[in-house]
Every structure is written in C-alpha cells, then in structure tokens.
Structure 1
Amino acid sequence: MIAHLAQLTLAFGLLGNIVSFMVFLAPIPTFYKVYKKKSTEGFQSAPYVVGLFSAMLWIYYALLKSNVLLLITINSVGCFIETLYICFFLFYAPKKARMESLKLIVLLIVVGFGLIVGLTQLFATGVTRGVIVGWICLVFSLCVFVAPLGVLRQVIKTKSVEYMPILLSVALTLSAVMWFFYGLLLGDFNIAIPNVLGFTFGIIQMILYFIYKNKKPVIIDEKISKFEEKITAMEVQRIPEFKDTKSIDVVELKGMMPAEILSGVGKYADNANHAVVNPQALRNMPNHMTIEVGA
C-alpha cells in the first residue's frame, strides 16, 4: 500500500513538472513579439517578477523539507526561465518601464525574499521554520490564484475573451490538479490547499470562455457610442452663436425681405425649410444678409 502511494505521488509529481514546464513556456509568443518590434510596448514585467519570487519561495520551502524533490526540480527550472524573461524585458523596455521593473525586483526579490530567509533563519528553528515558510507559501499562492479575478471581471463586463487565452487557462488548471494530488498524497497541505483555489478559478475561466467566445464584445458598441457623441459635440460647436450681430440666411427671412428680392427668390415649398430659387434672378444676390440686432 505504501509503495503504491509512493508511485502515485511520483506520478503526479512528474506530471506536475511537465505541465508546469509548459506553463513556464507560455509567454514565449509574447517575447517573440517584443523581439520583432524591439519594444515591450504595453507589456508589464510584474508577472515574471512575481513568478520568480514564487519559484524561489517554493525552493526555500522544499529545502526545509525532506521528501519534495520534484518541487525543487520544477521551481529551479522556473527560476531560470523567469530570470531569462526578466532580462529580456529589461533589455527592450523603455527607460521608465525598466526603472519600474528594477524597483519591483529590489522590493520583491531582494528585500522581500531576503527578509523571509533572514528572519526565519534567525528566529525559527527546525520544524517551526518549515511551518512558517509553508504558511507564507500558502498565503502567497492564494494571492497569485486570486489575481485572475480581474480578468474574469473584464470578460463578464465586455463579454469578450480576447484577453483570456484558453490554452494557458487549461494548462494552469491541469497544473493545479497535479500539484493538489501531489500535496495530498504527501500529506502536505501547504501544497494542496492553494491548488484547490487554482483548480476552481481555472474551471470558472474555461466556463466563461465557452459562454462568451462567440459573443459580440460590448466594448465595440461603447466605442461607437462615444464616437457618435464626439461627432455630435463637434457639430454643435460649429453652429455660430448669436450675440450682438446675427447672420441669417436670406431664404429664412421671407417675411422680412423687400418685395423686389422675394420676387427673385420664388416661393417656399409647403412645410419645408428650403426655397425653390430661381438662379437667373439671384445671380447678383448675396448669399447672406446681415442684420444688426440692437441691445
């Protein structure tokens, strides 16, 4: 029985390594775009810095344990890949984005991770140290899994799945399942519990994808409405305001024109705002008549 459980644990750990490795490779198309355009444009470095911090944290936790070698292997690979991503980003990022990324690296990797290692080494010993680091890993993993809530909100609001890649969602869901069973079989709930949340959010993302994948994005309609409002505002601004002097079309002054002018204009059509004008009679007539309105 024990041997069977050990085999299952090894199987889920290996599958977890494979799926997690695929997740680590998911941003490659993004960085290929960056390479082609020689610019990071609107992309952010935060996901990769957070990914590096998470991998380092799990390695530290695994080193305090005695039976989680597969946790060390995949997170070591993760540290290497995320470091490459960050270096690539810094190389192509504009100065402002580069400085913001460096600040985040110092804050999270140097200060954050340094404090965790330093404080647990100084003020905790043995099993207690592993428990404290395990809880830190658990809380941080829960925060990482909660992060996609912003994406879910955007999908529901816009009725568009443009910014929710389904393949990545599937990979993250499978990864959560593998690591949940790996942690469960090991009896390590610091590994198992966060992946319950990861699996739940992954299922929700896939459900929303299939609900909204054929929907017309609401954002398009909103942009059209805003565009129409701008056009209307521009048309209103083009209408001259009447102050002390008003310029009024001659065709609008039927009751105010002299008889000799009216004879050349012709008569108005019934219930219309325009006149049937005789071009021959109006050859020398000005297009507008200016009326000075006193105060």
Structure 2
Amino acid sequence: MAMAMANHHTLGLIFGILGNIISFLVYFAPAPTFYRIYKRKSAEGFHSLPYIVALFSAMLWLYYALLKKDAYLLITINSFGCAIESFYILLYFFYAPMQAKKQTLKVVISLNVGVFSILVVLIQFLLKGSNRINVFGWICASFSVAVFAAPLSIVAKVIRTKSVEFMPFSLSFFLTLSAIMWFAYGLLKNDPCVAIPNILGFILGLVQMVLYGFYRNAGKEKMEKKLPEHIIDMVMLSTLGTSDIHPIGAQQNGIKKSGSEDVKDDEETGNREKTTENSGELQPNGSTV
C-alpha cells in the first residue's frame, strides 16, 4: 500500500515537472512579437488584452496553489506566468500609443487589481479551511473552462475559410501536450479543479490538430510564406485569454491576410519613407528619433 502511494506521488511529480517545462515554452511563444515591438519601438496594431487575461489566470492559480500550501509545481509555473506576462504588458505599455495605454491601464486596474482583490477578500472573510480552497479552486476551474473554449472561434474560422493560416500546428501540439500533463497531474494529485479544465483543453487541441491535417493544403497557395507573429499570439493567447482577439496590425498597415511577401515589403517600405518625412532621421532598427 505504501509502495503504491509512493509510486502515485512520484508519477504526479513527474507529470507536474513535465507540465512546467511545456508551459514554460508556451509562455515564451509571444517573445518574437515583443522583440518585434522593441525593434520597431511601436506597439501599434497589437492588443494587450490577451496578456492581461493570461496574467489574471496565472494570478488566480497562484493564489489557489498558495491556499493549498503543498502545490509547489503550481506555484512555480504560475509565479513565472505572472512575471513574464507582467513583463509583456509593461513592454507593450511602454511602446503603445497613448489611447492604447489608457485602455490597458483601465483593464489592468479593473480586472487584475479590482476583480482579483474582491475575490480574495470574499474568500478570506466568508469561507474557512477546506471550503476556502474548494470554492476558489472551482472559480479557477470555471475561468479555465471559459478560456479553453475561446479558440472555438479560430476553429470555426478554419472550417469557414478552409485555411489553417491562423492555427499553427506546433502551437496546437504543445498546448495539447500541456493539457495532457496537467490533467495527469490533477488526476494523480486528486485535484479535479486542475484535471477537469484540461480535459476540454485536450479535446480542443486534438480537434485543432485534426483540422490542421485536413485543411493544411486547402488554401496553401493563398497563405503568406511567413505567418506574422501577432497572428501566432492570437491563437496562443486566445487559449489563455479571450476569443475576441483580432490581428488588426495587418489591417492597419494595409496588408491583406493572404497577400504575398512583396506586398508586405512594399507597405513597410512606404511606412518607413513616410515616417522619415515626418520625423527626420530613421534609425537602423526602423524607429525614429
């Protein structure tokens, strides 16, 4: 009996560590976008909302893990999630237009400060002991279910357009793998709040990969050679955030979603020439003094 319990604990530890490693990689997926923002010194055309929602999700799970006191692997990944999402938001805020800064600040104050503080205060003063953990755990699980359901809009878009342009296979694969690891961890740790949302995550990831295999050649001739980074973020972070994330950067620059690289290059060249006329010296990284 003791041996079986030890094996159970060891398996849970292994799946938790694997879940941490894969989740670390997924958290780094938006890095190319923010490197692009840094190089251009502008966040115009990008959204802050998915990163704000991802931060809120990490904050919820971190507080839940702290309530449980023995969920160290949940603490590590969600502490990292809070740190890197905060960094993404700060970098976005630094380079965003004034109007976008105001909107970002409003959402952060209302959601990450206001809603989170209200939840914590209610949980601390209205509930005690195991009830506090159970109720907050199901709040986290409910939020995760809503978040996992968000990419259904991407699935519908793939079916409607018969194109996988907005659904990279590698990202769907790693998100599915992450869901498997965290489901196994929740199951072995007897934590349904962790296990149940990842069942939906696994099913959705599987559907995405099947659709990719079915439609990958359907609209190939219409796709660009390289997918813009903010499209990848839309897919990745809609799994963490909301489904109302649109790649407006391409639209604002006059670039068609299925256009060629030549059109894209022409538009960027025109923008740089216009910036030079208005602002003077053009820096090597594409920004102006």
Give the TM-score taking structure 1 as reference length: 0.72
**Structure 1 contact 180–193 (Cα < 8 Å) conserved:** yes
Give 1:100 shift: 1.3
Counterpart position of 2:11: 8
1:197 aligns to what?
A: 200
1:196 Cα shift? Answer: 0.2
Q: Once the two structures are superposed, what CA deviation does each residue of 1:149-208 show, in whole Å capped at 9, x if it has no partner? A: 111111111112111122221111111000000000011000000000001111111111
8 Å contact kept, 1:159–1:218: no
SS for the counterpart of 1:2 is helix
Q: Distance in 1 between matches of 2:78 and 2:142?
A: 18
Q: In the alignment, what sits opposite 1:63?
A: 66
Q: Which of 7, 32, 40 matches 1:29? A: 32
Which residue of 101, 120, 125 corresponds with 1:122? 125
Q: Which secondary structure state, in structure 1, belongs to the residue aligned with residue 164 of structure 2?
A: coil
Give the aligned CA root-mean-square deviation in angstroms. Answer: 1.6
Task: State the match for 1:99 in structure 2.
Answer: 102
- The structure that has the greater radius of gyration is 1
Counterpart secondary structure, 2:167: coil
Post-superposition, which runs of at least 4 consecutive aligned residues in structure 1 deviate over 6 A?
A: 217-220
Work out the CA distance in 2 between the residues paired with 1:94 and 1:217. 35
Q: Is 1:173 aligned to 2:151, yes or no?
A: no
Report the CA distance shift for 1:64/1:217 in structure 2 as closer, same or farther (over 3 A): same
Alignment of 1:176-187 (within 5 A): 176-187=179-190
Corresponding residue for 1:239? none
2:138 to 122, 130, 135: 135
Partner of 1:250: none
Rate the CA distance shift 1:118–1:218 in 2: closer, same or farther, 3 A.
Answer: farther
- The structural deviation recorded for 1:11 is 0.2
In the TM superposition, residue 217 of structure 1 has moved relative to its aligned partner by 6.9
Q: Please tell me whether residue 150 in structure 1 is matched to residue 153 in structure 2.
A: yes
Partner of 2:268: none
Of 141, 156, 163, the match for 2:166: 163
User: What are the ranges of 5 or more consecutive residues in structure 1 without an aligned counterpart?
Assistant: 224-295
TM-superposed CA distance for 1:218, in Å, is: 10
Cα distance in 1 for residues equivalent to 2:153 and 2:33: 20
Residues 120 and 218 of structure 1: is their aligned pair in 2 closer, same or farther, counting only changes over 3 Å? Answer: farther
Q: Identity, % of aligned pairs?
A: 54
Residues 100-157 of structure 1, C-alpha deviations (whole Å, 9 max, x = no match): 1111111110111011101111111111111110110010000110010111111111
How many Å apart are 1:219 and its aligned residue?
Answer: 8.3
Gapped regions of structure 2 (runs ≥ 5): 224-255, 257-289
Report the residue type matching 1:125 in the other structure: K
Which residue of the other structure, out of 6, 20, 23, is the alignment partner of 1:20?
23
Counterpart contact for 1:160–1:217, Cα < 8 Å: yes
| Structure 1 CA distance for aligned equivalents of residues 45 and 220 of structure 2 | 21
Q: 1:57 & 1:45 partners in 2: Cα distance?
A: 19
The one-character-per-residue Cα deviations of 1:47-67 (angstroms, maximum 9, x if unpaired) are 111111111101111111133
Q: How does 1:28-47 map to 2 (within 5 A)?
A: 28-47=31-50
CA distance in 2, matches of 1:100, 1:75: 25
* SS of aligned partner of 1:67: coil
